[in-house]
Amino acid sequence: MVETSNKLAVFFDLDDTLYDHLVPFREAVREVLAPDEDKLDYAELFYTVRHHSDLLWPKYLSGELELEETRVMRLELAFAEYGLHLTREQAVRIQASYIARQYTIEMIEGVAEQLQRFISLGHPVGIITNGPLEHQTGKLRGLGIDKLIPPEMIFISDAVGLAKPDPAIFVHVNQMTGTSPENSLYVGDTWANDVVGALAAGWKVCWYNPRGRKPGTDHTPSYIFTNYKEFSELPLV
């Protein structure tokens, strides 16, 4: 167990919370398809990709689908909703380009300052993210987060054997870090995985909602913010 203080423990999601997932996706689609930019809403398309990813992920976790098949299928399904037929070759190429670009990502403006703020104030700070261990670890290294947060405070679903939105992963984090749910805060962007999952575990939740998404259920986040300047002004500590 990690030795932690009795200060508020702050854990962050990774994808679309610490860096903008849309950037590598958009560039990958441009590289492979060169689409008509006036007719393609990248943000909505990517939101649909993530939706299909969430739907397919349990099949990957159960062994029904291989990881690469899961990734390619989510693209095919999402693009089809927009009336865009992807060949299997195109889907594979977009996925390969998208993955490669995720290792040269940058933090969203203001993120580094907020991580440093909590660390300097002595708060336990960590990461909880869904995804394959090697892939998510590569992103953390690319962002330099591995130099700020110790490995024992980083929880990746495939390594843990639990995945959001299952509240059990948040319970596991509390057990492993010596923190309590009532004194833990989760910062994330996805309604079902981050807001609903963490609230179900008794955590406080900061919902990062830069694109003005509507709540998916009647759950109530502790705080909502659209950028990290707003986040810095929240009465968290």
Walk along the chain (237 residues) and give the pLDDT tens digit of each residue. 555 568 999 999 999 999 998 999 999 999 999 888 888 899 999 989 989 998 998 899 899 999 999 999 999 999 999 889 999 999 999 999 999 998 889 999 999 999 999 999 999 999 999 999 999 999 999 999 999 999 999 999 999 999 999 999 999 999 999 999 999 999 999 999 999 999 999 999 999 999 999 999 999 999 999 999 999 999 987
For residue 15, what are the β-bridge partners? 19
- Is residue 36 within 8 Å of residue 210, measured between CB atoms? no
Q: Give residue 3's pLDDT.
A: 52
Nearest alpha carbon to residue 102 among 19, 184, 6, 203? 19
Q: Give residue 4's pLDDT.
A: 57
Q: Give residue 158's pLDDT.
A: 93
Q: Give residue 237's pLDDT.
A: 75
Q: Give residue 49's pLDDT.
A: 95
Instruction: Catalogue all structural domains in the chain, each as residue range(s) with its CATH number.
Output: 9-20+106-232 (3.40.50.1000), 22-101 (1.10.150)
Nearest alpha carbon to residue 24 among 152, 181, 135? 135
Token pair of 133 as six digits: 């261990």
The pTM is what? Answer: 0.87
d(CA 223, CA 237): 13
